[in-house]
Amino acid sequence: MMTKRFLLTVTILFAVCFYFGPQPEVKAIDPVTLAILAPIAIQGAKILAPYVMRAMGHFLKAIVNIGKHLLGFFRIPIGLFQCTLLAPFGGQFMYGLANLGAGSVEFLKFIGCVLILPLSFFGIGV
């Protein structure tokens, strides 16, 4: 069993090791190299522009789809309201159950769309 003293000692040792460890250094590019590479980078950007725009279009479609599922998720509180407070008023309980079920399905779809969001850049799941 680990004692508090042992855990404190290990924590302090780790802190000291990381504090006195080597620090990352920043390396700058000289202006001449930058001036030489800038035209090459511009040509590369011109070649990649259509692919980036298409990926952004796929991403936008996925975001709209996520928003639609997020709005559908709000059927759960509506269903709870219908099942509890509006139940005595003529058949609202069944509508509440339907809203609870639909909201739960929309929540699962929302989670699935959020998980597949990084793949939407490649047109998967759109």
pLDDT digits (tens, 9 = 90+) for 55-102: 999 999 999 999 999 999 999 999 999 999 988 888 888 999 999 999
- Sorted by where each begins, the domain ranges of the chain are 42-126
* pLDDT beyond 80 at 116: yes
What is the model's pTM? 0.64
Instruction: Fill in the DSSP letter of residue 122.
Output: G
Please tell me which of 10-24, 25-39, 76-90 the model is most confident about, judged by mean pLDDT. 76-90
d(CA 105, CA 117): 18
**49: part of which helix (H) or strand (E)?**
helix 31-73
- Contact 113/69 with Cβ under 8 angstroms? yes
Amino acid, single-letter form, for residue 90: G
Instruction: Fill in the DSSP letter of residue 14.
Output: H
